[in-house]
Structure 1
């Protein structure tokens, strides 16, 4: 499991980070050697404490004693104690430095993976988001990447560091007493291995369940706050709190189980280690070893245990964390492996010189029958074209194809005779201003929402005011206490529906695009404001291409061309009066049966 996981992690690291990981290895080995030297310096000190005269007679200690010119055992003892302490301080100081390097590397990787994953998601084609759970995408970025870093990458690094330390300490013990050292090592290793073999499948199951439960938690939060108005009106607050509570409670229980499994061996083996030291003392004394002989050896084993036990325990915890969090690593691998469908940067607008053309276009959503078939349409530059029809007829799908958000299942969408493809679609989209029925507003100022994504220092004040005036928003902004710097709230909740829609229209016009698309964009406006917006659009006649998906048929009366979409195809097209005279389907939209519901201003309710 360990080598395979290490290879999977290395495959996810970019070359610079991979090189950093390789450089960490010698630093960890050096840390292990220094810790072992720290352990080794304890034995000479204790030997002199136990029997100063005999210790100085030792070949190595005696050589140091005479070489440094000591004349008494007290000063020599002080020297050995100070040297042992200095090595320990140096060893621990270097361990702190290596810990800093490990954490800096891990958290840097956390940042890089989170950024890469967000870029990977936003680089997916629009069609992928039609079936995506956005709460899960957010969870993957913020939670699962951190889970991989804290429970897979960091434990893997700690495992290597602790393994090097454990091997060094065991090697020292082997030099002192090979049989006893190997016996202790085998006992410790076997005990931890046995516990891991017992719990490994449980850890894997718990990790997979944690992944699923966390998704439920995030979905409950996303839905509750995203639809807070509906939740409150329907009185469903308790439903979402209960849904979150159940998932959160299970998440806590799973985490508790995993953490307990981590530390179970520690307490049992501490008892075994302490008991083992007592047995060693008794065995040595029983075989006629003197206290002076036993004390340095026991001191060495006690200090070695002080170093070895935490190292082995941390290795076990690292392995259990790895096993528990491997499902998160699988999520990261899966989602980073999907190639981006679009470039993330804003391209230079390509503009529109002649016409937009759809040639025998058809489209089917994945797993569904065709939504559009046999669409042939030419939209000349600076013309106004409207799409009307009943609900589900395919109007918005048709507009999404023109926008380049969807790729035709058959046929082609051409701009100035060039088919839209991955190479040119970003430039085309930069040439289009888009206003949807449900205007998206960020939690920022009026100016930030109109300029949308443009850094504050680069906002064009003249373009800002021009767009606001064209959207009939300028007088409203003038009444605000902070003007264009007024905060609109999350999703524009501090604004009325009409104000949000006009702000979205101003955003679409900010870059002065040659093409503007209104997808049910005037449905939330009152008649007076709608008329003002239409006057602004009519002022664009001959200077801008306008595409409209209409809710109110009065909106499209002045369009050059109206396309009636039914059953996924264009069944009639022409000017308003021509369609009224020749198309029964269009007349049915304009003049619905008496029982049909009428709009708040007495207008027929058209199709979304």
Structure 2
């Protein structure tokens, strides 16, 4: 539209058209300033929205603590401040949009009137030719200014657009590499050769050399921050190593098809994962309730020491656990998450502080059942409670991201002063 009317205007009166074009171009100085302000404000709205949403999620997650400590009112004030910041930024963008819309017609008329005065008084141009050219040019300028207004409306969302673009680039740069070799079954060993791992510039693990044999039980112990959980996460293929290599049955883990490998792994974390569904679906991961699956389901519950609790419920295995398992205790959540992994057909069972949320009696029962699994699974156990790893085939003591010592529980007590001190502190 702009292009067509400009051509017609130039054919009618080139001099007049040129003057109006210069005047119209000069209006871009104002628009460019408004564009810049709009982009800056859009970024503020996006940033403020992230802050508010994050705080709102935390208020829901930590509601009990905030309510119990009386801190909830202070936190609500912070939420209000976040809302005020968003409102203030939205008002600014509204002002810039209103300014562009309101200024559009007056600016066009001003430019045209000034050019007409110059043409008539300075260049003695005939008014008839000017009016014909003016009709074409007015249409052109109107379309141009309308386009500028729409562009500013687009810039209202530029903050979100830039944020999403940066996020997509970050996702792409951190994309997990996936091998092509399918993993059928764990047959022999996992070998870590000079493995190192870092978060940014911070080294978490260095020079880890370790061989994990099939159907043996390995316990990883050490002070908080020593790298225990990071090490088992590397073995599970959750993160790539920074240096060195991990091989599974002689094949580099980077070459293994990740999903097929992870399906052979059971993972029990300190924070239990409970879905808003029935007990049966939580444990079996939505398997069909066939007689065989029912049998495996109840066996897994017995091994996790929670079968009696499920039987005591009116709906038994069909009882719904509510959002994130809100209807059961922390210990019961953990036992169900343990039962889920025992139900699966796996080769490697990782237990990352899996029994830390349980009372001593339940922990003892589960520990006895886990010991029965020795020889059937490759067990990787991360534990602070040293009583849970006494029967492990090998205990690996980590210190500042390195293997300080290793051996059977009884041997390690004799050979390692730091391990002996840990055992004494826990009165084992």
Length-normalised TM-score, structure 1: 0.57
Pair 1:274–1:365, CA change in 2 (3 A): closer
CA contact (8 A) 1:385 1:561 kept: yes
Greater strand fraction, Structure 1 or Structure 2: 2
Structure 1 equivalent of residue 61 of structure 2: 226
Does structure 1 residue 350 correspond to structure 2 residue 187? no
CA contact (8 A) 2:6 2:17 kept: no
Instruction: Give the drift of 1:523.
Output: 0.9
> How far does the alpha carbon of each residue in 1:423-446 deviate from its partner, in whole angstroms, 9 at most, with x for none?
444432221101111223334433
Does structure 1 residue 325 correspond to structure 2 residue 160? no
Does structure 1 residue 204 correspond to structure 2 residue 39? yes
CA contact (8 A) 1:363 1:410 kept: yes
> How far does the alpha carbon of each residue in 1:17-68 deviate from its partner, in whole angstroms, 9 at most, with x for none?
xxxxxxxxxxxxxxxxxxxxxxxxxxxxxxxxxxxxxxxxxxxxxxxxxxxx
> 2: CA distance between counterparts of 1:483 and 1:335?
44
Instruction: Give the drift of 1:515.
Output: 0.7
> 1: CA distance between counterparts of 2:59 and 2:39?
31
| CA RMSD across the alignment | 4.1
Pair 1:205–1:269, CA change in 2 (3 A): closer
Pair 1:531–1:262, CA change in 2 (3 A): same
Length-normalised TM-score, structure 2: 0.79
> 2: CA distance between counterparts of 1:434 and 1:244?
37
> 2: CA distance between counterparts of 1:215 and 1:587?
48
Pair 1:327–1:470, CA change in 2 (3 A): same
CA contact (8 A) 1:386 1:556 kept: yes
> 1: CA distance between counterparts of 2:280 and 2:189?
33
Structure 1 equivalent of residue 87 of structure 2: 252
Pair 1:314–1:533, CA change in 2 (3 A): farther
Pair 1:274–1:410, CA change in 2 (3 A): closer
Structure 2 equivalent of residue 421 of structure 1: 254
In the TM superposition, what are the counterparts of 1:482-521 in structure 2 within 5 Å? Answer: 482-521=315-354
Pair 1:580–1:271, CA change in 2 (3 A): closer
Structure ranking higher on relative contact order (CA contacts 8 Å, 6+ apart): 2
Counterpart of 2:215 in 1: which secondary structure?
coil
Counterpart of 1:591 in 2: which secondary structure?
helix
Structure 2 equivalent of residue 366 of structure 1: 200
Instruction: Give the drift of 1:546.
Output: 0.9
Instruction: Give the drift of 1:501.
Output: 0.7
Counterpart of 1:421 in 2: which secondary structure?
helix
Pair 1:481–1:380, CA change in 2 (3 A): same
> 2: CA distance between counterparts of 1:485 and 1:191?
72
Pair 1:255–1:537, CA change in 2 (3 A): same
Aligned with residue 401 of structure 1, among 234, 237, 253: 234
Instruction: Give the drift of 1:270.
Output: 5.4
Pair 1:223–1:547, CA change in 2 (3 A): same
Aligned with residue 213 of structure 2, among 366, 380, 385: 380
> 2: CA distance between counterparts of 1:514 and 1:364?
28
CA contact (8 A) 1:342 1:422 kept: no
CA contact (8 A) 2:6 2:140 kept: no
Does structure 1 residue 193 correspond to structure 2 residue 28? yes
Counterpart of 1:386 in 2: which secondary structure?
strand
Pair 1:265–1:367, CA change in 2 (3 A): closer
> 1: CA distance between counterparts of 2:151 and 2:325?
48
Structure 2 unaligned segments of length 5 or more: list them: 112-130
Structure 2 equivalent of residue 441 of structure 1: 274
Counterpart of 1:358 in 2: which secondary structure?
strand
CA contact (8 A) 1:192 1:265 kept: no
> 2: CA distance between counterparts of 1:167 and 1:468?
75
CA contact (8 A) 1:349 1:430 kept: no
> 2: CA distance between counterparts of 1:573 and 1:412?
21
Instruction: Give the drift of 1:313.
Output: 6.3
Aligned with residue 575 of structure 1, among 408, 412, 419: 408
Structure 2 equivalent of residue 33 of structure 1: none
> How far does the alpha carbon of each residue in 1:558-603 deviate from its partner, in whole angstroms, 9 at most, with x for none?
22222222333333322223333443332212212xxxxx6xxxx6
Structure 1 equivalent of residue 72 of structure 2: 237
Q: Between Structure 1 and Structure 2, whose CA radius of gyration is higher?
A: 1
Counterpart of 2:334 in 1: which secondary structure?
helix
In the comparison of the two structures, how many residue pairs are matched?
407
CA contact (8 A) 1:413 1:420 kept: yes
Instruction: Give the drift of 1:268.
Output: 4.8
